[in-house]
Chain A
Amino acid sequence: EAGVTQFPSHSVIEKGQTVTLRCDPISGHDNLYWYRRVMGKEIKFLLHFVKESKQDESGMPNNRFLAERTGGTYSTLKVQPAELEDSGVYFCASSQLKLRGTDTQYFGPGTRLTVL
């Protein structure tokens, strides 16, 4: 079974440009999460989709970030316009829909974003 995949693995852009990151979750996983780690800090939650709906977007830093999951399959995270402080590694994770108890999140390899 394929794991969570992310594209691109690296992206280098200039301040003010737009970048779109993509995440393909494990097939059949309804929960999809975005996290990021900026230099020297812990990994922080950004948002959570259940199917195509945003369940929790409390971690999104500001309105320059837009996440979508049309059709409830893959997700995109767009940063527009990018700023220097957006540099970091963006991780996506997915899990099955939790009916009771707990669900385990499986992470992708991440996209390293560098804003110059």
Chain B
Amino acid sequence: DAKTTQPPSMDCAEGRAANLPCNHSTISGNEYVYWYRQIHSQGPQYIIHGLKNNETNEMASLIITEDRKSSTLILPHATLRDTAVYYCIVTPDDKIIFGKGTRLHILP
């Protein structure tokens, strides 16, 4: 089973920041938090990952709480193309265990 809990769906207005939460209260000390998204029926797309520090790349920012039990993915200026299912993943092994993710709707 997935080790993360995410809301099933969220809405965000186009141009605004989308903040997607994830709970991972059973995360172990050496486990990373990964975020992927799946746009329509395309292959999952890697977004960002982190261990304990906050991370930022050209796609998003990842904020991890100090106790590492939760994190937030931030898309700073959401566009219609960001409509997708977003997966927060904590996996102890090499294989990825996907949960149901959060379906993000960007509203024009």
Chain A positions within 8 Å of B, measured between CB atoms, are 4, 31, 33, 35, 42-45, 48, 55-56, 59, 89, 91, 93, 95, 98, 101-110, 112
Find out whether the CB atom of B95 lies under 8 angstroms from the CB atom of A104. Answer: no
Which of B4-12, B17-25, B40-48, B74-82 lies at the binding interface? B40-48
Find out whether the CB atom of A105 lies under 8 angstroms from the CB atom of B96. Answer: yes
User: Which residues of the partner chain B approach A93 to less than 8 Å between Cβ atoms?
Assistant: 43-44, 96
Find out whether the CB atom of A91 lies under 8 angstroms from the CB atom of B46. Answer: no
Given contacts A33-B95, A45-B95, A103-B94, contact A89 B46 (CB under 8 A): no
With A4-B43, A98-B94 given, can you name 8 additional A-B contacts, CB distance below 8 Å? Answer: A35-B96, A42-B98, A42-B100, A43-B98, A59-B95, A91-B43, A107-B36, A110-B43
0/1 string, B68-96, CB within 8 A of A gives 1 = 00000000000000000000000001111
Q: Within 8 Å of chain A (Cβ to Cβ): is B49?
A: yes
Find out whether the CB atom of B41 lies under 8 angstroms from the CB atom of A110. Answer: yes
User: Which residues of the partner chain A approach B94 to less than 8 Å between Cβ atoms?
Assistant: 31, 33, 48, 55-56, 95, 98, 103
